[in-house]
């Protein structure tokens, strides 16, 4: 069902990107799954690099945030078999590679939040932080991790 | 009971501030509630802005941290009906809008930790991180999220 | 058993360092334990200070990350009595005190991830974030918190 929704949104999930480090993408405990921090990788290459807003626009950073969510969903599908097991998105942590002056982190991470709502509806409504950080792995513009509840 | 304690501390909870983005303030899963990142907003306006310590003193940043907690409690009251359902504060994540040289993040976030202990007593003792970040939403001096356990 | 493994790795756990603030090192809820952010303290002194890579090399930051894990395990042993109660490491959050140009946070935090795998084997495989932050408490090079599942 969620996958039909993704198809309607013309979103195709990639083969989940490998973690850039010695850890695993998804860990389950009880009814919770913790997804490792995702960066805007596609076809093995970081698509959105640099600091917002000097190297990369808010609009492109929003695309980066969306790509992080696509990668998180790919990891979850790989782990769970189907995204229909997700009963709720609990928490999204959004880290934006920011200049010291940039203060529109919520605008960037809204793209991730809106996208989750588009896909999951009410189940996609989550708690959230959005902060600006000095730098990110592989010079990614955005890094996002999430916690979901599964049945 | 907690609300009597708040009154004794002369703390009044505001109408909970709306999230500055497309997400929700509190999500519950099992016995845990996740509160979205709170900023030092009062009456719709961020009260403490800028970087510690150049634009804003440690003392003012401590007031900002306390205001973040007040807003988190307002959100929790709105969600739970009463703060008496909170059986434990589990985790506080404190993000301080810092210059690259500032290293007293614990002093700032201690104001939040002490305040939670004042209000909740032993139940208010939590785990914590305190980090310095490059920038925060709406140029807030501090952003704090928390996880609580409820009965 | 885990302690024999630590001995084989020639790791001795210190008396757990006191939190640099008014909070507690470990909080338990259900089967989860939340460990507060650990910094690379040894014998009461921060061993690795400054920003990566200008003040401190990636190699030294890796040693800092490992020391953060040692301190986290010391806290967990103090709380749980024995590390054998740990059934899984769920989540590691790694904050690296970074220049705005540094993008190898995963290399630094890999030292923590590899170390957890060395100690706990499959149970040590965790989800993770690694981000670069503007500054950290006491000018620590690295701060790491973690969530573990216990039996």
pLDDT band at A19 (very low <50, low <70, confident <90, very high): confident
- By three-state DSSP, how is residue C139 classified? helix
CB A85 within 8 A of CB A42: no
Q: Does residue B45 sit within a domain?
A: yes
Cβ B27–A90 below 8 Å, yes or no? yes
pLDDT value at A148 more than 80: yes
Distance CA B79, CA B62 (A): 26
Q: Percent of chain A having pLDDT more than 70?
A: 99
Domain that holds residue C118: 25-150
ipTM of predicted assembly, 2 dp: 0.94
Among chain B residues, the shortest Cα distance to C135 is held by B132
Q: Decide which of A30 and A1 is more confident.
A: A30
CB-based contacts of A121: which residues, under 8 Å, 6+ apart?
none
CA distance A46 to A135: 14
| Nearest Cα residue to B86 out of B126, B124, B141 | B124
Residue A99 has pLDDT above 80, yes or no: yes
Shortest distance, CA B108 to any CA of chain C (angstroms): 10
3-state SS class at A64:
helix
CATH, residue C119: 3.30.1330.40
Whether the per-residue pLDDT at B25 is higher than 90: the answer is yes
Lowest mean pLDDT among A10-19, B79-88, B130-139: A10-19
Residue with tokens 């016995």: B31
Q: Look at residue B17 and tell me if it is in a domain.
A: no
Beta bridge partner(s), residue A52 = A98
Give the pLDDT of residue C102.
98
B13 within a domain of the structure (yes/no)? no
- Write the DSSP symbol of residue B16: P
- Across chain B, mean pLDDT equals 95
**B137 contact partners, CB below 8 Å, separation of at least 6:** A103, A104, A105, A106, A130, A131, B20, B37, B39, B143
Amino acid B59: pLDDT: 98
pTM of the model: 0.96
Q: Confidence class of residue B17 from pLDDT cuts 50, 70 and 90?
A: confident
Domain assignment present for residue C46? The answer is: yes
- pLDDT for res C21: 63
Number of domains in chain A: 1
Establish if B99 belongs to a structural domain. Answer: yes
Q: Taking CA A20 as the corner, what is the angle to CA A17 and CA A22, rounded to the nearest 5 degrees?
A: 115
For residue A36, the model assigns a pLDDT of 97
Is C88 inside any structural domain?
yes
**In a 3-state reduction of DSSP, which class is residue C43?**
coil
For residue C100, give the nearest of A36, A134, A143 by CB distance.
A134
Per-residue confidence (pLDDT) for residue B143, from 0 to 100: 98
Paired sense of beta strands A86-97 and A142-150, if any:
antiparallel
Does residue C1 lie in a domain region? no
Minimal Cβ distance to A134: which of C92, C113, C132: C132
Asked if A129 and B93 come within 8 Å (Cβ–Cβ), the reply is yes
Region of poorest pLDDT, from A17-21, A92-96, C115-119? A17-21
Chains B & C: contacts with CB separation below 8 Å: 90
Q: Given A105, A127, A149, which is nearest B137 (Cβ)?
A: A105
Given a contact cutoff of 8 angstroms between Cβ atoms, the answer to whether C85 and C103 are in contact is no
Q: Do A21 and C109 touch (CB under 8 A)?
A: yes
Q: Do A143 and C131 touch (CB under 8 A)?
A: yes
Given a cut of 70, whether residue B20 has pLDDT beyond it is no
- Residues of chain B with C-beta less than 8 angstroms from the C-beta of C21: 106-107, 109-110, 113, 128, 130
The residues on C that touch A, with CB distances below 8 Å, are: 30-32, 88, 90-92, 98-107, 109-110, 113-114, 117, 125-134, 147, 149
The answer as to whether B98 is a domain residue is: yes
Q: For A28-52, what is each residue's pLDDT tens digit?
A: 999 999 999 999 999 999 999 999 9
pLDDT one-digit tens code per residue, C123-134: 999 999 999 999
* Bridge partners of residue B16, in order along the sequence: none
Chains in contact with A, counting 3 or more C-beta pairs less than 8 Å apart as contact: B, C
């Amino acid at each position: 069902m969620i996958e039909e929704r993704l198809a309607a949104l013309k979103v195709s999930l990639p083969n989940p990107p490998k973690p850039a480090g010695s850890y695993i993408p998804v860990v389950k405990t009880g009814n919770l799954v913790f997804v490792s921090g995702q960066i805007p990788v596609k076809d093995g290459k970081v698509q959105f690099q640099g600091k917002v807003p000097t190297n990369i626009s808010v609009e492109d950073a929003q695309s980066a945030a969306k790509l992080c969510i696509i990668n998180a969903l790919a990891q979850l599908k790989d782990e769970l078999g189907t995204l229909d097991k997700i009963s709720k998105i609990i928490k999204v942590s959004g880290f934006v590679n920011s200049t010291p002056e940039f203060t529109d982190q919520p605008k960037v991470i809204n793209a991730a939040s809106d996208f989750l709502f588009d896909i999951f509806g009410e189940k996609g409504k989550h708690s959230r932080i959005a902060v600006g950080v000095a730098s990110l792995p592989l010079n990614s513009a955005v890094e996002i991790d999430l916690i979901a509840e599964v049945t």
